[in-house]
Amino acid sequence: MNYLKYIVRDPKICGGEPVVKGTRVTVRTLLASLAEGSAVQSILKDFPTVSEDALRAVIAFAAISAVEDLPVSSLPRFQ
């Protein structure tokens, strides 16, 4: 998914945090909702300016960010 169509950063909006384009809904807020176990439909209801495609873009953005920021060797090993 091309998240660039849905995610933007602008220093004038939310202090430059990544947001869903055309909104003030931050990527962090949406990811926190997902991490807390909120269902997609519940999130879309809570944030009516966010589309399902935009929410998928948020997940894609997070996945790509994790690859860039967290080298695999730094992950804890489970025994």
pLDDT in tens, 39-65: 999 999 999 999 999 999 999 999 888
Q: What is the pLDDT of residue 25?
A: 97
CA 28 → CA 2, 24, 61, 74, distances in Å? 18, 11, 11, 22
The CATH topology of domain 3-69 is: Arc Repressor Mutant, subunit A (1.10.10)
Q: What is the pLDDT of residue 34?
A: 96
SS3 assignment for 48-63 = CCCCHHHHHHHHHHHH
pLDDT of 16 strictly over 70 = yes
For residue 75, which phi and psi values (nearest 5 degrees)? -75, 145
Domain spans in the chain, listed from the N-terminal domain onward: 3-69
pLDDT at site 75: 45
Helix, strand, coil shares of the chain as percentages rounded to 5? 55, 5, 40
